[in-house]
Amino acid sequence: MVLDMSVRVLSKGEQTRERILDITQDAVLHKGFAGTSLDEIICEAGITKSGFFYHFKDKNDLGKALLLRYLEQEAQLFDDLLRRADELSDDPLHSFLIFLKLFADVMADMPNGHPGCIVASYVYQDHMFSQDVRDLTAFDMLRWRKRFGERLQLIAQRYPPRIDVDLEAMADMLTAIADGGIILSKSLHDPSLLPKQILLYRAFVQRVFVSD
Amino acid sequence: MVLDMSVRVLSKGEQTRERILDITQDAVLHKGFAGTSLDEIICEAGITKSGFFYHFKDKNDLGKALLLRYLEQEAQLFDDLLRRADELSDDPLHSFLIFLKLFADVMADMPNGHPGCIVASYVYQDHMFSQDVRDLTAFDMLRWRKRFGERLQLIAQRYPPRIDVDLEAMADMLTAIADGGIILSKSLHDPSLLPKQILLYRAFVQRVFVSD
DNA sequence: TGAGAACAGCACCGCGAGTACAGTACTTAT
DNA sequence: ATAAGTACTGTACTCGCGGTGCTGTTCTCA
């Protein structure tokens, strides 16, 4: 289950930068971006204000770096899960169903549940960021739509849908379910809710492409 | 479609209070709670700081009032939609499907799309609020679970589910889809995405309880 | 017409973001 | 061995914002 991909040694500066981003992510997901003070980050990271501004030119720069790192980690996780699913089955439908099971498993295995989606958090604070940061969140959404949409297209070719559904909307549905499931889990403090929602989406996919 | 329920006359103070809440809601949904300054609210409302503190004892009090008003409006809307659906059919499944269609229609008819969910926004800033406010968001989630869950129970009694699903999770799925759909719509600036997600959920419900 | 409702005005505090700039310890290439 | 970065520390300041407290003042309605 554990695969150590690219564990290259980080320089001292990179370590500090990562530590700052870790602390920031945790704070932003609980207090919002504006509610997260630099003093607090600095204090927890054990550095000074000057040290912080050595790594990031201002708060917006920090926010952008945090988002970019999150998007990259997210993409790596899904690349991995989709690749593993593809290795387990050549059939597009079976592979996608395996992927969804793996996705649910990974979410269920998180000790304190999913910490929260940076993209969702940013969407609810879009006016706090520069345009390029806002564009990144939209671009990310479109990436998932394309990625899952292509898989659903392949599935639909081999398994004619039993009901008339918009495959693009069905691709969007997974990101919606994930974001909504995270909100559910967070608000009720029940990490099991997110994986349950993913499995419900999986049941829907199965039910759309396979008859009784 | 338009039904003017309880259009009682508001006193001058109540009007100001409502205006403050309107401005706050708009700001909070775009900048987060901490990112919304009182000065900005005051300026836009055309009052002074003293005027503001006459209506709310502090910022947390404003946040709580905003949430309470949102929860009440939300509840009124769903009460209305569910009642109208019940009037159109005695069958629990058909009524629920009609309700979902009405829900999608109302969301599609919003000129600029759904402005955003205060509950979702607050969940991503929980540490900015006192415990009683956090409890309100969780309590609201449980209310929807119970409300939709009871309907699904009734449906399941008459229409044995074609697949094994957890009805509680299926009730949660609607709130997840709504919250996720709002995030989708907001990030891609496409109001049509939310109603599409609701209709996909509707298709899922239909597919769970009705055979091919 | 008087009493409360609904504010305005002002003065003040502490915190947080951001700027500027000088200095320093540690590391690495030549 | 030394010079050139790298990765910071320390100090000192500005300005906007949340919040408090108190004294008025105007409006509204019974």
Note down pLDDT in tens along chain A; length 212 residues.
443 333 446 767 678 899 999 999 999 999 999 999 888 899 889 999 989 999 998 898 999 999 999 999 999 999 999 999 999 999 999 999 999 999 999 999 999 999 999 999 999 999 998 889 999 999 999 999 999 999 999 999 999 999 999 999 999 999 999 999 999 999 999 999 999 999 999 999 999 999 87
CATH number for region B71-209: 1.10.357.10
Cα B18 to Cα B69: distance, rounded to the nearest angstrom: 9
Which residue is it, tokens 């019940």? B86
Q: Both tokens of residue A102?
A: 């793996």
Residue type, B38: L
Of A30, A172, A207, the CB nearest to B127: A30
Nearest chain A residue (CA) to B30: A125
pLDDT of residue B211: 82
| Residue ranges of chain B that CATH labels 1.10.10.60 | 11-56
Cα A154 to Cα A147: distance, rounded to the nearest angstrom: 11
Number of other residues whose CB lies within 10 A of the CB of residue B181: 30
pLDDT of residue A6: 39
CB neighbours of B149 closer than 8 A, spacing ≥ 6?
A: B167, B168, B170, B171
Which residue is it, tokens 């979702």? B120
| Residue ranges of chain A that CATH labels 1.10.357.10 | 64-209
**Polymer length of chain B:** 212
Cα A58 to Cα A52: distance, rounded to the nearest angstrom: 9
Q: Both tokens of residue B116?
A: 């955003």
CATH of A10-56, one of 1.10.3720.10, 1.10.10.60, 1.10.1740.10, 3.40.50.2300: 1.10.10.60
Minimal CA–CA distance to B31: which of A123, A186, A206? A123
**At residue B7, does pLDDT exceed 50?**
no
Fold topology of B11-56: Arc Repressor Mutant, subunit A (1.10.10)
For domain A64-209, say whether CATH 1.10.357.10 is its number.
yes
**At residue B8, does pLDDT exceed 70?**
no
| Residue ranges of chain B that CATH labels 1.10.357.10 | 71-209
Minimal CA–CA distance to A126: which of B65, B185, B143? B185
- Among B187, B204, B207, pick the best mutation site for testing chain A contact (most A Cβ within 10 A): B187
Q: Both tokens of residue B173?
A: 């799925």
Of A35, A179, A197, the CB nearest to B169: A197
Average pLDDT of chain B is 92
Contact B176 A181 (CB under 8 A): yes
Q: State, as a whole number of angstroms, the distance between the CA of B38 and the C1' of D18.
A: 8
Local structure of residue A68 (DSSP, 8 states): H
| Residue ranges of chain A that CATH labels 1.10.10.60 | 10-56
Which residue is it, tokens 């109001």? B191
Cα A146 to Cα A149: distance, rounded to the nearest angstrom: 5
Q: Is the CB of B165 under 7 A from strand C?
A: no
Phi-psi region of B130 (alpha: psi -120 to 50; beta: other; left: phi over 0): beta
Which residue is it, tokens 């693009």? A168
- The protein side of the strand D contact, defined by CB less than 7 Å from any of its atoms, consists of A 11-17, 46-51, 54-55; B 11-12, 36-40, 49-50, 53, 57-60
The predicted-structure confidence for B36-91, as pLDDT tens digits, reads as follows 988 889 988 989 988 898 999 888 899 999 999 999 999 999 999 999 999 999 99
